[in-house]
């Protein structure tokens, strides 16, 4: 299965934040849309990712106060990215190695969407379930040996 298939199924809705935006406003967007990340965009170009992990780290360092903290003070620069032609198993390995929960999908400089670890796990599960059903069906239709 390819990353393009995950995007096709989940859609490619994008939620972004500017680097000079307030983290508190970014958190409100994430909470409103039940998402764990925002793509940080500067003048139409992706410059990084802001995820709940960076927000939690900032909250811990600041005794639970975000105050006037700006996105550019905490976001991840140069995040792991994927292309639409990447195999999902390769993406999963990269996400595990880099501890990346959210991966922007790009085509050259164009941002196409974001794939989460949940999306990848769901795709792998569904693909394996389909293969399992096909194998069971094949085994059930296997011809019985003579004399049994």
Query: For all residues of the chain together, what is the average pLDDT?
Result: 89
Q: What is the DSSP string of 16-54?
A: EE-TTSBHHHHHHHHHHHT-SEEEEEETTEEEEEEEHHH
Predicted pLDDT at 96: 94
DSSP 73: G
Whether 70 contacts 46, CB under 8 Å: no
Nearest CA-CA partner of 76 in 110, 93, 101: 101
| pLDDT tops 80 at residue 129 | no
**3-140, superfamily in CATH?**
CBS-domain (3.10.580.10)
pTM of the entire structure? 0.80
* pLDDT 10s digits, 59-112: 999 999 999 999 999 999 999 999 999 999 999 999 999 999 999 999 988 899
Domain ranges (residues) in the chain: 3-140
């Amino acid at each position: 299965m390819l990353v393009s298939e995950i995007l096709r199924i989940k859609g490619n809705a994008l939620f972004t934040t500017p680097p000079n935006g307030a983290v508190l406003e970014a958190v409100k967007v994430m909470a409103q849309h039940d998402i764990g990340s925002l793509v940080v965009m500067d003048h139409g170009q992706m410059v990084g990712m802001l995820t709940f992990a960076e927000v939690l780290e900032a909250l811990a360092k600041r005794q639970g106060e975000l105050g006037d903290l700006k996105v550019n003070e905490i976001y991840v620069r140069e995040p792991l990215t994927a292309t639409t032609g990447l195999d999902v198993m390769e993406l999963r390995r990269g996400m595990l190695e880099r501890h990346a929960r959210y991966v922007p999908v790009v085509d050259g400089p164009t941002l196409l969407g974001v794939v989460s670890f949940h999306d990848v796990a769901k795709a792998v599960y569904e693909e394996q379930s389909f293969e399992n059903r096909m194998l069971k069906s094949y085994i059930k239709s296997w011809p019985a040996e003579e004399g049994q």
